[in-house]
Amino acid sequence: MDKTTKIIIGIIVAIIVIAGIWYGVSRKPTVPTAKEPIKIGFMGPLSGDGASYGQTELDAINMAINEINQKGGIKGRLLQVIAEDGKCDGKEATIAANKLINIDKVKIILGGACSSETLAIAPLTEQNKVLVLTGISSNPKISDVGEYIFRLSPTDEDFFRPQARTFYSELGYKKVAVLSEQTDYCITAREAFIDEFKKLGGEVVAVEVSSPKEKDYRTYITKIKAKDPAAVVIIPQTPITGGLMAKQVKELMPNVQILGSYSMESADAIKASEGALNGAIIFSVATDIPSGKVIIERYRQTYNKEPIDYFLPLEGWDRIFLVKQAIENCDGLDTDCMKNYLYNSKFNLSVGEYRFNSKGDITIFYTNLFKVENNKANPIGPTRTIVKE
Amino acid sequence: MISAYLIHLLILVCIYLILAISLQLAVGFTGLLNLGHIAFYCIGAYASALLALNSFPFWFCFLAAGILAMLFGFLLSIPTNKLKGDYLALATMGFSFVVYAVALNWTGLTRGPLGLPGIPKPSFHIPLTTYNLQLTTNFGFLLFTFAIVLISYFIIRRITSSPFGKVLEATRDDELATRILGKNTFKIKSLALMTSAFFAGISGSLYAHYITFIDPSSFTLMQLIPVLAIVIVGGLASLKGTILATIILVLLPEPLRFIGFPSSIVGPARQIIYALLLLLILIYKPRGFFGKVELE
């Protein structure tokens, strides 16, 4: 081993030792006292492709925590969130969750955002009886992986079947093509949509699926054009891809009606479409629930930016208040008690009025139809309530 | 408990060790810049997970993962045998894209992006006894993985220090000269790639059974970069260096978790520091810790 090697190894050892000492010094006494903050773990994508989702959730969570702490916390104890990056990846998520559970000793983890994160940490959190509240992980398998896991978003099944019914019966489109992406969310979403649409008697003339991260959809759209559908249903993974898909559909098929899905009503999607979404009709999460509007407005004021999506701030906010109610109704941080409380109670928070079913999935959610005019999505018709058991 | 967190990290170190020393065999010792290594890892993980989900015993899944990856290693070596350096890197990179695309799009088999949840933790019957080894605890799994690491390490060290290993290194340094000496370099490179693929496959199997959930996003080319970084930082053709680099590179991000960044920059800040540390190592040690050769 020569000199430079020794120096480098020395530096690395020094960093690890310093970090260890830092951690040791900054750590509070391990005996929980009445004044010590309640630690809540957050795990979601904070870097990479999914970062905008994770960061928006975390922003809303911090906003809710500040609100509670300013009013004196829960039973005199303040809340503290410890954020870890799950990177939308199973392995990273397990490291983050292990650290949160074993080092920070959290009893509640908010996350993950990507289904791969939530599915990967499920065995670990179940074993340690850690409560998991996920916002937007939509993989249907999550319903079955644990009893300590709660989900605030509808599953793709629950959301896209009503979407098919609305497009078919209410808007009267009988012959459509589907343009989508090959991701976990999009697969279950479009399968539910197509299945329901065909059941109703509709005709799906083409289903074109792009690879994730692809940005040029013209070959797929050309194939769709040959089948001459009355409308193109776009089911994208992100608002940006939704906007790009709409733009390219309009380039090649200027007269076709675009029917959009969740996230395409957002400012990002409309901006990415460069005007092509004008005239499009979008089925998405309702944004005109008064309780939700208040939170969105607060988000804008607090962070001085538009949320990338209307649902993320609401579910982020709600998860903290669900935790607050659960802790208030249980002694200490007994997750069995909190779990039972969540299963058996009704909530009236920013997402609306809801409760959880026996699998920990939300049972009531609110949707709406939007029409884009002058680069702005406006709700048309009343808010629809979807109830599942 | 700090120990549970450490055990988890050590298991990941072990899994990466197998992956890295097997890549070292191909890249460092044989001079095959194989960017398809992650594909072997993927094949191993999927093979093992799918067999286990169809109730095959763990030892069978584990070996099948290695053997199937080895088979694909053989298949890959046929068209790429005449390629060298950058060209080989490109061709093998293509292979990893193909495997990723199959994992992503063959939804009937792999469930595509939905992934395979609920992969059972290993449990197997020890031959000639009535003892049934359950590896449901992480500590048990760590011991098992560590044993596999030791076995893999000794096999690969044995290979590289044997006369065959010398021929591998000769092929890396001057393939033409080696052929003039009467060695069949095609066969030698093929064997090296197959061995390397075998170990990548079993490492994939360990990963699948430990994390219990896999989806194609764990097997993109991006996931190979940390492994390649380990091989380069450790130094080409040095097993000792690979072990040191694996431990450092897998554990280095962890102390960074304890630096209290504000939550708005916590994700990117850690990655920037990690990248800077890597850069520093390579500026001061361009051949890695114990590197003997440089990549062409």
Q: Which of A15, A123, A212 is facing B212, going by the closest CB pair?
A: A123
> Does the CB of A183 have a partner CB in chain B at under 8 Å?
yes
Tens of pLDDT along B76-114? 999 998 888 889 999 999 999 999 999 988 988 988 888
Nearest CA-CA partner of B173 in B285, B34, B28? B28
- If you count residue pairs, one on A and one on B, with CB atoms under 8 Å apart, how many are there? 140
CA distance linking residue A64 with residue A127, whole number of Å: 29
How far is the alpha carbon of A256 from chain B, nearest alpha carbon, in Å? 29
Report the DSSP beta bridge partners of residue B214.
Answer: B116
Q: A15 and B255 in contact by Cβ < 8 A?
A: yes
What tokens appear for A240 in the block?
Answer: 């940006």
What's the ipTM? 0.80
Nearest C-alpha neighbor of B229 from the set B173, B196, B275, B268: B275
- CB within 8 Å of B223: residues ≥ 6 apart: B38
Q: B58 at the A interface (CB within 8 A)? A: no
Could you give the percent of chain A with pLDDT greater than 90? Answer: 50
Whole-number mean pLDDT of chain B?
87
Query: What pLDDT, on the 0 to 100 scale, is given for residue B87?
Result: 92
Is A58's CB within 8 Å of B263's CB?
yes
Closest residue, chain A, to B223 (C-alpha): A89
Helix (H, G, I), strand (E, B) or coil at B83: coil
For A121-172, the pLDDT digits (tens) are 998 899 899 999 998 888 888 998 889 999 998 888 888 999 999 999 999 9
In this prediction, residue A22 has a pLDDT band, given cuts at 50, 70 and 90, of low
User: Which member of A11, A95, A139 has the closest CB to residue B114?
Assistant: A139
CB B115 within 8 A of CB A119: yes
Distance CA A320, CA A315 (A): 9
Whose tokens are 């509240």? That residue is A133
CA distance to partner chain B, nearest, from residue A85 (Å): 6
Segment 72-101 of chain A within 8 Å of chain B by CB: 81, 83-85, 87-91, 94-95, 98-99, 101
Contact A19, B258 (CB under 8 A): yes
Greater confidence (B50 vs A23) lies with B50
| Token output for B217 | 């996003």
Phi and psi at residue B37, to the nearest 5°: -60, -40
Tell me what the mean pLDDT of segment B145-173 comes to: 92
DSSP-derived pairing of the beta strands A364-373 and A352-355:
unpaired
Percent composition of chain B: helix, strand, coil (DSSP 3-state, to 5): 75, 5, 25
> Cβ neighbours of residue A375 under 8 Å, at least 6 residues apart?
A270, A271, A275, A277, A278
pLDDT for A36-68, tens place per residue?
889 999 999 988 777 888 999 999 999 999 999
Contact A85 B112 (CB under 8 A): no
The closest alpha carbon to B208, from B109, B117, B77, belongs to: B117
**Does position A354 have pLDDT exceeding 80, yes or no?**
yes
Q: How far apart are CA A179 and CA A220, in angstroms?
A: 8
Test A7 with B104 for CB contact under 8 angstroms.
Answer: no
CB nearest B215 (choices: A81, A95, A116): A116
**Cis before B118? omega within 30:** no
Please give the pLDDT value at position A173.
Answer: 93
How far A261 CA lies from chain B's nearest CA (Å)? Answer: 20
According to the model, what pLDDT value does residue B98 have?
94
Total residue length of chain A: 389
pLDDT at B118 over 90: no
Q: How far is A6 from chain B (nearest CA, A)?
A: 9
Cβ distance B217 to A22 less than 8 Å, yes or no, reads no
**What DSSP designation does B181 have?**
T
Please name the residues between 82 and 121 in chain B that touch chain A, using a CB distance below 8 Å. Answer: 101, 104-105, 107, 112-115, 117-118
Lowest mean pLDDT across A201-210, A263-272, B17-26, B117-126: B117-126
Most A CBs within 10 A among B14, B110, B254, B258, hence the mutation to make, goes to B258
**Rounded CA separation A13/A36 (Å):** 32
Q: For residue B283, what are the CA distances in angstroms to A8, A389, B221, B279?
A: 11, 60, 24, 6
| Residue A54: both structure tokens together | 């994770």
Q: CA-CA distance, A259 to A281, in Å (whole number)?
A: 5
pLDDT band at B126 (very low <50, low <70, confident <90, very high): low
Q: What was the pLDDT predicted at B95?
A: 94
CB A54 within 8 A of CB A84: no
Helix-, strand-, coil-residue percentages of chain A, each rounded to 5: 45, 25, 30
Nearest C-alpha of chain B: how many angstroms from A205?
21
Handedness of CA B267, B269, B270, B275 (dihedral sign): positive
Confidence of residue B131 (pLDDT cuts 50, 70, 90): low
Which amino acid does the sequence have at B75? L
The dihedral built from the CA positions of residue B45, B51, B56 and B60, taken in this order, carries a sign that is negative
Q: Indicate yes or no: CB of A90 within 8 angstroms of CB of B104.
A: no
pTM for this one?
A: 0.84
Residues of A within 8 A of B267 (CB-CB) are 45-48, 51, 54-55, 85, 87
Q: How far apart are CA B289 and CA B240, in angstroms?
A: 9
- Model confidence at A351, pLDDT cuts 50, 70, 90, reads confident
Spacing of C-alpha A205 from chain mean position: 30
Name the strand (E) or helix (H) holding A329.
none
- Give the confidence band of A33 by pLDDT, cuts at 50, 70, 90: low
Q: pLDDT grade, residue B280 (50/70/90)?
A: confident
pLDDT(A21) > 70: no
Cα distance between residue A180 and residue A235, in whole Å: 5
Is A22–B271 a contact, with Cβ atoms under 8 angstroms apart? no
Of A153, A121, A123, A125, the C-alpha closest to A139 is: A153
H-type alpha helices, chain A: 3-26, 51-70, 90-102, 115-127, 156-165, 184-199, 218-227, 239-252, 267-272, 290-303, 311-328, 335-344
Token code pair at residue B264: 């708005």
pLDDT reported for residue B114:
86
Question: Quick one: pLDDT at residue A227?
Answer: 92
Element (H, E) at A274: none
pLDDT for residue B50: 95
Q: How far apart are CA B277 and CA B38, in angstroms?
A: 24
Residue A98 to residue B258, Cβ atoms within 8 A: no
pLDDT tier at B127, thresholds 50, 70, 90: low
- Are the beta carbons of B244 and A123 separated by less than 8 Å? no
Number of Cα atoms under 13 Å in the Cβ half of residue A152 = 31
Q: Are A88 and A49 in contact (CB under 8 A)?
A: yes
Cβ contact (<8 Å) for B267 and A46? yes
Question: What is the C-alpha separation between A376 and A387, in angstroms, rounded?
Answer: 29
A186 Cβ contact list (under 8 Å, min separation 6): A180, A209, A235, A236, A237, B113
Considering only CB atoms, B268 lies closest to which of A47, A98, A119, namely A47
Phi-psi region of B128 (alpha: psi -120 to 50; beta: other; left: phi over 0): left
pLDDT value at position A204?
Answer: 94
Distance in angstroms (rounded) separating the CA atoms of residues A288 and B14: 52
How confident is residue B238, by pLDDT bands cut at 50, 70 and 90?
A: confident
Listed by number, the residues of chain B in 121-180 with a beta carbon closer than 8 Å to a beta carbon of chain A are none
Instruction: Give the residue, B121 or A6, on which the prediction is more confident.
Output: B121
Average pLDDT, whole number, for chain A? 88
User: Do B218 and A89 count as a contact with CB atoms less than 8 A apart?
Assistant: yes
